[in-house]
Amino acid sequence: AWNESWVAKAEEGSKCYKWGLLAVSVSLFLLSITATILLYVFYTKGTADDSCGLSKFFVTFNMILGAVTTFASINGKVQEHTPTSGILQAGVIFAYTTYLTWSAVSGITGPCSAAVGSSTASTVIGAMLTFLAVAYSSLRTSSASQLGKLGLNEERKLLLNDEEAGVEDEEDRPRATDNEKEGVQYSWTFFHLTFCLAALYLMEVLTDWAVIRDGHNANVIIGEGMASVWVKVVSAWLASLLYLWSLVAPICLPGRDFS
């Protein structure tokens, strides 16, 4: 929606949105490339016993996925089937997966991350991203803002538009069907399953994947360890692959509506 909105205003002749879209996209790629170089510099200095091959693989594979998703987003055939695709979305995905990769390689204990020292920066940035995600979710579901309408169904949008326009006639106003007496419009099973899995994940994080047990002296740092590393890396890969699938799906399945 962000990209579509700015592209539409740029096509209307607004140079501010045109240059703003270009500046944000370029900044995201510059940030991601700079971070990738720094990951090679600080997290791949191996020793005779450890060549940091796993860290090198994680950083390199993330860079390859970033390049693939970027080229796919500006491919002519992809643009033909998905006109809203562009480098802004690819830049956001690349920046996010680069952060996850950094968080993962910084959690690998040993000489590969010894030169960096404290992981305070990773913790602070993770907290900031969490805050931004929660703030965006709050705005998305807020019925008082235009951004909040993005997460609502068409009937609810019509209700909000009527309220803003001062429509008082109940007969002309669409009826809300989600009264939860006979059923709901969302999947409550999926809703509770998601929160259950989130609670289990937090439990594993707080116990450092069951390393911290009753009667055990906690001599590890929460968030480090190979279990946490693989969760972050796989999350980054899945984010890239899901975005890539959203680009090629309309080509692979031309008879399906992806709008």
pLDDT(258) > 70: no
Give the span between the Cα atoms of 49 and 101, in whole angstroms: 23
Q: Please state the pTM of the whole predicted model.
A: 0.70
Say how far apart CA 150 and CA 142 lie, in whole Å: 10
**DSSP state, 12?**
T
Query: For residue 133, which of 102, 101, 99 has the smallest C-alpha distance?
Result: 99
**Of the ranges 27-36, 49-58, 88-97, 233-242, which one carries the lowest mean pLDDT score?**
49-58
More confident position, 48 or 18: 18
Between 159 and 140, name the one with better pLDDT. Answer: 140
Confidence of residue 105 (pLDDT cuts 50, 70, 90): confident
Query: Per-residue pLDDT for 221 more than 90?
Result: no
Question: Where is average pLDDT lowest: 16-20, 68-72, 172-176, 211-215?
Answer: 172-176
Which letter, b or e, does each residue of 49-83 get, where b requires 16 or more Cβ atoms within 10 Å of its Cβ?
Answer: eeebebbbebbebbbebbeebbebbebeebeebbe
Q: What are the pLDDT digits (tens) for 21-32?
A: 888 889 999 999
Which position has the token pair 């993962």? 104
User: Could you give the count of Cα atoms lying within 13 Å of 204 in the half-sphere of its Cβ?
Assistant: 14
Mean pLDDT is highest, among 23-32, 119-128, 177-186, for: 23-32
Lowest-confidence pick of 63-77, 169-183, 198-212:
169-183
More confident residue, 161 or 60: 60
Tell which wins on pLDDT, 169 or 239: 239
End-to-end, the C-alpha distance of the chain in Å comes to 12
